[in-house]
Structure formats: C-alpha cells, structure tokens
A and B are shown apart, each in its own frame.
Chain A
Amino acid sequence: MTDDRTTLAMLSEQLADAVATAGAALVAVHARPRLPSTGVHWKDGVVVTTEGTIRRDDDIEVTLPDGRRIPATLAGRDRGTDLAVLRIAPGSLPVATLGDPATLRPGHLVLALARLDEGGPRAAFGAVSATGGKWRCWKGGEIDQWLQSDLDIYPGFGGGPLVDAAGRIHGVNSGGLSRSLATTIPVATVNRVTAQLLERGYVARGWIGAAMQPVQLDATSRQRLKHEGGLLLLSVEPDAPASRAGLLIGDVIVAIDGQSVEGFDQLLDVLGAGDVVGKKLRLEVVRAGQPVSVDVVIGERPRRAR
C-alpha cells in the first residue's frame, strides 16, 4: 500500500513536471474578444496557434510565462489545417521540445496544455484514443497523422500542445477539427505549414480550374485502357490551367503523373503537395473513347478573401 502511494505520487509529480517543462514554451495569445487562446513557441521567435482563434490581424499580443505581455505580428494563417503563425521577438522564452507522434499509441497518457493569463500553465489529462495515417479534415487541409485523444479541450485550450508524460510536444490541439474527440495537428503538419506561412503568408495549393465528378468507365474502355474510372470534367474555367492545356468538357481524367485517379482523393493529394504549383504534370485522359495525353501546368488555387 505504501508502494502504491509512492508510485502514484511519483506519477503525479511526473505529470506536473511534464506540464512545467512544456508550459515554459507556451504563451497566451490575445487575438480575439474575451478569452485568449494558447500558442506554442515552436521555433525561436515563431508562435503557432489555431487559425480559428485568431479573430483579428492586427494589435495581437502574447503573454509570456513570466507574465510580460509583448506584441506579436501575424505571419500567416491556413484555414485548411486550422493553423496560424505569429512572429514575436526572438529569445523571449524557451523553444518547445518536440516529440514524434508516430511513437504514440492508443492508451498512452497525454496532457493538453494551455496558458490563459499571467498565471501558470493549465492542464487536462487523458489518453490517446486513436492513431492512424494521413487524412483530410473537413476544412480541406491535409493532416499527416490521425491523432485523437479523450482530452477535454476547455475554452482557451485551442492552439495548445498535446504533451506526453515526458513533457514532449506532439502537436497542436484544435477545437475546430472534430466534435467528438480532441484532434491534434501533428508535428509534421505544423512544421510543413509553418514553413510555408513564414515564407509567403499562406499555403499554396495546386489548382487546374475545372469542375469534375467521379465516373466509372464503360466495360470496353475499362478493358482496353486498364483504368476502372476517372474524373469527368463538367466545366472548365476560362484562362485557367485546364483550359490553357486544352482540356474539354466531357474529358475523363484517368491518371495524373503516372498515378491512377478514380476519385477526388488522389487528385487532391497531388494538388496538395507542397511544391506542385508551377509544375508541368502529364494527365491521361479519355476523350470520346480514345486515350489522350495532356500536359497541364499546375496553377495556384485562388484564395478566398477573408
């Protein structure tokens, strides 16, 4: 019984240590009315938080662990992955110690952390519920790993980190990506999106400028072309990559860059790749029953004005 007590007390101390360690790299982000959100000092001078909690582009401030409140500037935001990046003065606080989310398995103890004011870091406790590979969230962005936990994302915890029992940060928790379980945007996605936001202020995604619908090919074409289905072009925008390449309404795209396309997922995977804009890709197309090759120079998806 004494052993039980000691071991539990040790676990409790270890969790509190993890909170203190990871909490040293957290700021409170003041970019919306009433309640601040949480930001992670990802690299020196760079704070990451969730896009949904940034309600204004100017007059943003962050509260440091020592209680000081300093100005921050918005480097960029990406709705698709619910991430936003702020710049602050370098050397303001310790930089986050990152973990590898691939090492997390369902059942591992984890914490969600927050900083809401000049007080200490705040914590919620739970376990990893589910892990998996790449997925596309409803906001459209590609998330490199599926990482969900039974943590409660309390008001202000959005943008805060998912932390393991050793205090390593495995990603940024988003209150906006799913309703049931807490969803974490993993380190790889944060790194990828942060690099783009720092470079150009937004995430460039590929675009060809056509509306499409998945279709099955007829039996003869299936046999002859070795493709099951493809994307049927329903409309082609003027002065867009698709029209410039000569794609026509009624064309069925069956492969891009040597890879079969049977639905939107494969196309979006190609268009979502970081370096695709400006690349020339070869499309295999079925036009009037005949296979045709078309080269398309991938454009940049127009951005909605906020």
Chain B
Amino acid sequence: MTATSAAFLSAPAERLRASVVGIANGRRGRRAAGGAGAAIAWSGDLFVTSAHVVTASHATIVTPDGRAVPGDVVRRDDERDIAVVHAPGAGVPAVATANPATLRAGSLVFAVGHPFGVRDAVSVGVLQAVSPLPRGYGLNGKGSFVWIQADVRLAPGNSGGPLADAQGRVIGVAAMVVSGVALAVPVPDVERLLAGLT
C-alpha cells in the first residue's frame, strides 16, 4: 500500500505518455514539439486530436522520441471538435480505450498533454459527469452534446490529448474548459468518426 500510494498514477501515466504525440499544422510543424496541441495514437498510424488544433489539411506529429512525421487530416468534425490524422511510419504504440459511460462520478481520471508547452504533463482529478452540460453553464448550444465533464486541470496545449481512467484507458479527447470544468469528447463519438477507417 505504501509503495502504491508513493507511486500513485506513475505506471499508467508512463504507459499513456508513450502514446501521446505533439501535433501542429502543416508539413513542417515546427511548433509541434513545443505544443500547439496533443494527439493520441489510436490505432496503426491513425492519430486523434481536436479539430481546432489541426485547421489545415496537413499536420505534423512529433513522436515521444522526438521524430517529426508528416501526416494528412483524413477526417474531421468541427462541430464535435475532433479530427483524425494519418501519419504513416510513426510507429507509436496505440492506446487502450474505455467507454466513459461505465465510470461513476468521483472515479479517478487523468489527462496528459502539453499545457503551456510543457511536454507530456500529467494532471489528475475525478469524473464529474458524462452528460450534456448543466443548464446555466452555457457553451453556445454545444452544451447539449454529451461531454465528459471532469474536475481536472487543463490548459492550452492539452487540446487533443487524452483523458484516461485510473487504469490508463483513454475515455475521451480533451477539448476545452467551460466554467472551470474540463470537457472532453467521449470515446464513442471518436469511434463514430473513425468508423470505416480502421
């Protein structure tokens, strides 16, 4: 128990960090290393990120070992704010995923991203809800989407990165912060966009 509380999330966080890449617009993507946003190695050479991170048709990912790999944006859903990037030869291990609907409020969650350009930073918290936003939280009509709402610190640079459960399984893609609450797009919505690609 002592060893575990000292180590806490370090093992699942380490595994997840190996599957998180930097990403930026264009073929060169010089900013990718510094953290325009994050992307998740989903399967094969497919990466999932936020649509607002990759506004062009090409993107460059930067692997955890520092290689820049050019890719193409093959699917995007601006309304739901997710995009899929194909980067052949990236060779980044894919994540395991889980449906957030199976988690209860209060379950531990953690995020990996590049907040303010800090590579692969981990932040931890708990799940608040997987539902449309409460009335009064706003969000220009997008509040009626089902969002993962979590008490976890996100910052610019977390966009497109994973939100994971205590076992390191990705449950959603970090999208934004509304009224201080971290919002992520649930895995089933990502799978819908990926349908037919894998």
Contacts and interface: CB of A to CB of B under 8 A. Distances in A.
Interface of A: 1, 3-5, 7-9, 11-13, 15-20, 23, 34-36, 111, 116-117, 119-125, 152, 154-156
Nearest to B132: A119
Contact of B105 (A1, A123, A152, A154): A123
B151 A154 contact: yes
Contacts of B166: 5, 8-9, 11-12
A154 B179 CA distance: 7
Contact of A4 (B4, B107, B151, B179): B4
Contacts of A122: 105, 128-129, 149
A35 B143 CA distance: 14
Nearest to B149: A122
B121 interface: no
B106 A125 contact: yes
Contact of A16 (B11, B104, B125, B137): B104
B107 A15 contact: yes
B134 A8 contact: no
Given A4-B4, A5-B167, A8-B166, A152 B136 contact: no
B139 interface: no
Nearest to A120: B105
A3 B135 CA distance: 41
B176 interface: no
B36 interface: no
25 contacts: A4-B4, A4-B11, A5-B167, A8-B166, A8-B167, A15-B106, A16-B103, A18-B106, A111-B106, A111-B126, A116-B134, A117-B135, A119-B129, A119-B131, A120-B104, A122-B105, A122-B129, A123-B106, A123-B126, A123-B127, A124-B126, A125-B106, A152-B180, A155-B179, A155-B180
A9 B167 contact: yes
Contacts of B12: 4-5, 8
Contacts of B8: 8
A89 B105 CA distance: 27
A54 to B, nearest CB: 16
B107 A12 contact: yes
B72 to A, nearest CB: 36
Interface in B1-53: 1, 4, 7-9, 11-12
B1 to A, nearest CB: 7
A15 B104 CA distance: 9
